[in-house]
């Protein structure tokens, strides 16, 4: 039986495995070129210029192509060239360099082998508390990441659990072998660390200003860089959701991060510090505390205090990867700090790689909202797993590929990216390719319609985060409330309410502050509205909710019909159709539960007389 990887163009174009002696990207570049162009008239000349780094330039010569680039640039250049050939696009002229310096995948893989919020099987490199991987598959993975232009991989869960501290201690040798396997593809490893790790070694504190702690980390960093000289750095989640952190010792996050950054500095490593800090023991009765304000409140005052190799990683929205959130105000507030944008490929809140949810349209919005030049790095929570097709849903591969394209050039048209992925992967007849691209490009809007309305967020099944539960997080400790009653729904986050909007610069604030200027899709994020509130198009809020949910389900039916019309190869076709059946059930459940929930509260009838259950 053919497998997904047999057919996926960006893996299939060249034979595997890459010889083991190809231990650097430029060597892989030559092998890839020889293999691809070997049977064709064109020849490829490589001009390595170390200073170009990841950048490349391709020029057409009389007999072929010249690729000029740095060590990794040559590899990216070859892939770009093959890419253009395979998709029959004009080859990419001019100097190409990535927009974002660090383009990282954050893998939430536990040493046990399971993956937090993983929807594509078990870990590709952990099992039973150890590193455990198939060499061929890791090379294939490296190549996939190289194709996508992703240059760093944080191997373990930011919630460092169980034996994961061993990664940079006893298991360092094995981790170095994993680094070696990925290095030829321009992928550098990172590791999530536990800030309390010195306490496992007889040091009675993890206070970042304690000399013993400082020494322990300095020595540990030395040992780690002896084993993995090109490690991209460490990732830390501290003082968040029950993780230990500097607050325990009355220190700031700048003090905590800088201590670790200084240990990495001599080796060129970065310290990535996640800004996902909020009170996860909130009382729902407390209406003064507003979770979206938390990251800004914690970090904005620290701007300028972080060392230059600290990267503060900020989730795109102020909540947590919800379907619709405004850009986090933290991005505007820290001009003197290195910032990374964090997105999530794993479809935690966006359909579990069962429902279709192509992310490039979302990222383009985010990219356009980001203040110019302020963010230099990007990270994505991985959607990879040990499933045969790596992603659970074969189309979820488009999100990994698309993330790489976004990280190189955020201005790329999302539909172009989806079309390129589709073409590389399936080579369908033109009208079918169009249909597939439409299906993907529209998938986020459809998902948004049938789930929580207009930026309300959090109406998901607790813990699982798949399927509707309108009050699932309503009385919980996570700061996730909509406070729907018989008259109205939503939290007033304007200056007159929780004051969240005050965290934005004036021009952004003005847009969200008034109901008239606030875009519809975020109205319930920023405002508390009566069900009879009239939207700009004249519909009441409650009617808009009903309409969206009826339409959303119908649009999934249209998607299912479109999918059935595609001549996809097996097993992709069967897998995609089976998952579409589940998406239909899920969308129906969302439609009916959300409509019934608001109908029970509001008592409002649907103007079009459609069925709302009692």
Name which of 104 and 545 has its Cβ closer to a second copy. Answer: 545
Q: Rounded to the nearest whole angstrom, what is the least distance from the CB of residue 469 to a second copy in the complex?
A: 7
Nearer to a second copy, 88 or 463 (CB): 463
Considering only 475, 564, 565, 605, the residue that binds a second copy (CB under 8 A) is: 475
Tell me whether residue 320 is one of the annotated catalytic residues: yes
Q: Does residue 285 belong to the site contacting a second copy (CB under 8 A)?
A: yes
The kind and range of the H/E element at 536 are none
3 binds a second copy (CB under 8 A): no
Report d(CA 96, CA 76) in Å as an integer: 9
Contacts of residues 432-435 at CB distance under 8 Å and 24 or more positions apart, as own/partner, are 432/565, 432/566, 432/567, 435/562, 435/565, 435/566
Q: How far is the CB of 515 from a second copy (least distance, A)?
A: 20
How many CB atoms lie under 10 A from the CB of residue 5? 15
Asked if 64 is part of the footprint of a second copy (rule: CB under 8 A), the reply reads no
Tokens of 519: 């875009």
215, 241, 286, 416: which one is catalytic? 241
**Residues contacting a second copy: total by CB under 8 A:** 27
E strands, 415-564, are 488-489, 529-530
Q: Does 603 bind a second copy (CB under 8 A)?
A: yes
Please report whether residue 602 would count as binding a second copy according to CB under 8 A.
yes
Give whichever of 1 and 288 is closer to a second copy, judged by the CB atom.
288
Nearer to a second copy, 445 or 603 (CB): 603
Kindly state whether residue 86 participates in binding a second copy, applying the rule CB under 8 A: no
Binding of residue 567 to a second copy (CB under 8 A): no
Q: Does 613 bind a second copy (CB under 8 A)?
A: yes
Within 10 A of 557 (CB to CB), how many other CB atoms are there?
A: 13
Q: CB 461 → a second copy: shortest distance, Å?
A: 9
Helix or strand holding residue 564 (H, E): helix 541-564
Report the residue number, 40 or 486, with the smaller CB distance to a second copy: 486
Q: Rule CB under 8 A: is residue 610 a binding residue for a second copy?
A: no
* Residue 244 is a binding residue for a second copy (CB under 8 A): no
| Under rule CB under 8 A, residue 35 binds a second copy | no
Would you mind telling me the total number of residues written for the chain in this entry? 614
Q: Which of 309, 332, 409, 331 is CA-nearest to residue 364?
A: 409
Cβ neighbours of 391 (radius 10 Å): 25
Q: Which of 71, 171, 342, 348 is catalytic?
A: 348
Q: Is there binding between residue 343 and a second copy (CB under 8 A)?
A: no
Instruction: Please report how close the Cβ of residue 589 comes to a second copy at its closest, in angstroms.
Output: 8
Q: Can you list the alpha helix ranges (DSSP code H) found in 198-328?
A: 211-227, 253-264, 294-299
Neighbours of 129 (CB within 10 A): 15
Single out the residue of 312, 484, 541, 568 in contact with a second copy (rule: CB under 8 A): 484
Q: Are strands 488-489 and 126-127 parallel, antiparallel or unpaired?
A: unpaired
Q: Is 89 a catalytic residue?
A: no
Considering the rule CB under 8 A, would residue 53 count as an interface residue with a second copy? no
Closest CA to 448 of 525, 535, 346: 525
Task: Report the nearest approach of a second copy to the CB of residue 607 (Å).
Answer: 19
Q: Does 585 bind a second copy (CB under 8 A)?
A: no
Contact status: 233 vs a second copy (CB under 8 A):
no
Give, as ranges, the residues between 440 and 469 that touch a second copy (CB under 8 A): 462, 468-469
8 A C-beta contact, residue 99 and residue 403: no
Helix axes 430-441, 541-564, angle to 10 degrees: 150
Distance CA 367, CA 378 (A): 11
Q: With contact defined as beta carbons under 8 Å apart, do 530 and 488 qualify?
A: yes
Alpha helices in 351-482 (DSSP H): 360-369, 397-408, 414-426, 430-441, 443-450
User: Which among 593, 349, 353, 342 has a CA at the least distance from the CA of 463?
Assistant: 349
If the CB atoms of residues 388 and 592 are measured against a second copy, the closer one turns out to be 592
For a second copy, what does the binding mask look like between residues 486 and 525, x meaning CB under 8 A? xx--------------------------------------
Cα(432)–Cα(428) distance, integer angstroms? 6
- By beta-carbon proximity to a second copy, the closer residue of 147 and 590 is 590
Q: Which of 98, 470, 479, 490 binds a second copy (CB under 8 A)?
A: 470
Active site residue 411: no
Min dist. Cβ of residue 522 to a second copy (A): 23
Asked whether the beta carbons of 289 and 239 are under 8 A apart, the reply is: no
For residue 447, the Cα-to-chain-centroid distance in whole angstroms is: 17
| H/E segment holding residue 104 | strand 102-106
21 binds a second copy (CB under 8 A): no
Closest CA to 434 of 565, 341, 285: 565
For the bound state, the minimum distance from the C-beta of residue 471 to a second copy, rounded and expressed in Å, comes to 4
Stretch touching a second copy by CB under 8 A, among 21-29, 190-198, 477-485, 572-580: 477-485
Cβ closest to a second copy, residue 279 vs residue 475:
475
Listed in sequence order, the DSSP H helices in 186-281 are 211-227, 253-264
Nearer to a second copy, 307 or 476 (CB): 476
| Smallest separation, CB 278 to a second copy (Å) | 21
Minimal distance in Å, beta carbon 349 to a second copy?
Answer: 18
The Cα–Cα gap between 526 and 508 comes to 13
| In the complex, minimum distance from the CB of residue 292 to a second copy, in angstroms, rounded to a whole number | 19
The site for a second copy (CB under 8 A) is made up of 284-285, 287, 462, 468-472, 475, 483-487, 589, 592-593, 596-597, 599-603, 613-614
What residues are annotated to the active site? Answer: 241, 320, 348
């Amino acid at each position: 039986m053919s497998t997904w990887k047999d057919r996926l163009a960006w893996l299939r174009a060249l034979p595997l495995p890459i010889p083991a002696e190809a231990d650097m990207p430029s060597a892989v570049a030559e092998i890839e070129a020889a293999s691809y162009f070997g049977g064709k008239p064109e020849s490829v000349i490589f001009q390595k210029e170390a200073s170009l780094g990841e950048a490349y330039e391709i020029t057409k010569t009389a007999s072929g192509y010249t690729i000029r680039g740095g060590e990794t640039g040559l590899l990216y250049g070859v892939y770009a060239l093959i890419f253009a050939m395979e998709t029959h696009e004009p080859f990419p002229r001019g100097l190409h360099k990535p927009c974002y310096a660090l383009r990282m995948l954050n893998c939430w893989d536990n040493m046990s082998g399971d993956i937090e919020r993983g929807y594509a099987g078990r870990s590709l490199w952990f099992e039973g508390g150890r590193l455990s991987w198939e060499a061929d598959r890791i090379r294939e993975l490296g190549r996939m990441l190289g194709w996508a232009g992703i240059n760093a991989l944080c191997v373990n869960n930011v919630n460092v659990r169980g034996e994961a501290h061993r990664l940079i201690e006893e298991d360092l040798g094995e981790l170095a072998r994993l680094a070696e396997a990925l290095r030829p593809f321009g992928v550098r490893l990172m590791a999530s660390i536990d800030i309390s790790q010195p306490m496992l070694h007889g040091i009675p504190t993890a206070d970042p200003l304690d000399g013993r702690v400082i020494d322990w980390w300095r020595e540990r960093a030395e040992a780690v860089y002896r084993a993995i000289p090109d490690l991209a750095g460490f990732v830390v989640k501290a003082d968040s959701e029950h993780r230990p952190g500097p607050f325990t010792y009355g220190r700031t996050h700048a003090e905590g991060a800088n201590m670790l950054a200084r240990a990495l500095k001599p080796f060129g490593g970065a310290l990535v510090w996640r800004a996902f800090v909020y009170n996860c023991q909130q009382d729902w009765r407390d209406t003064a505390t507003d979770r979206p304000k938390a990251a800004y409140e914690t970090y904005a005052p620290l701007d300028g205090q972080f060392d230059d190799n600290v990267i503060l990683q900020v989730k795109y929205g102020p909540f947590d990867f919800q379907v619709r959130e405004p850009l986090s105000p933290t991005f505007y507030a820290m001009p003197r700090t290195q910032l990374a944008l964090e997105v999530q490929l794993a479809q935690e809140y966006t359909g579990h790689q069962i429902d279709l949810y192509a992310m490039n349209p979302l990222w383009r919005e985010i990219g356009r909202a980001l203040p110019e030049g302020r963010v230099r790095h990007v990270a994505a929570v991985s959607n990879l797993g040990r499933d045969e097709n790596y992603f659970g849903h074969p189309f979820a591969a488009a999100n990994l590929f698309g993330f790489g394209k976004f990280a190189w050039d955020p201005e790329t048209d999302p539909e172009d990216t989806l079309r390129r992925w589709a073409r590389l992967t399936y080579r369908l007849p033109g009208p079918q390719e169009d249909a597939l691209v439409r299906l993907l490009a529209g998938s986020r809007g459809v998902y948004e319609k049938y789930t929580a309305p207009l930026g309300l967020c959090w109406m998901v099944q607790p813990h699982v985060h798949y399927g509707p539960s309108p009050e699932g997080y309503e009385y919980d400790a996570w700061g996730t409330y909509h406070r729907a009653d018989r008259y109205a729904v939503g939290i007033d986050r304007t200056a007159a309410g929780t004051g969240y909007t005050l965290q934005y610069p004036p021009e952004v604030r003005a847009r969200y502050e008034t109901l008239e200027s606030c875009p519809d899709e975020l109205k319930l994020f920023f405002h508390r509205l009566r069900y009879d509130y009239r939207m700009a198009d004249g519909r009441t809020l409650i009617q808009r909710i009903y309409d969206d949910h009826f339409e959303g389900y119908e649009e999934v039916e249209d998607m299912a019909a479109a999918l059935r019309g595609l001549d996809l190869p097996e097993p992709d076709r069967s897998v995609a159709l089976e998952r579409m059946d589940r998406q239909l059930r899920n969308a129906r459940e969302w439609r009916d539960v959300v409509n019934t929930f608001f109908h029970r509260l509001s008592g409002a009838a649907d103007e079009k007389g459609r069925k709302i259950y009692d």
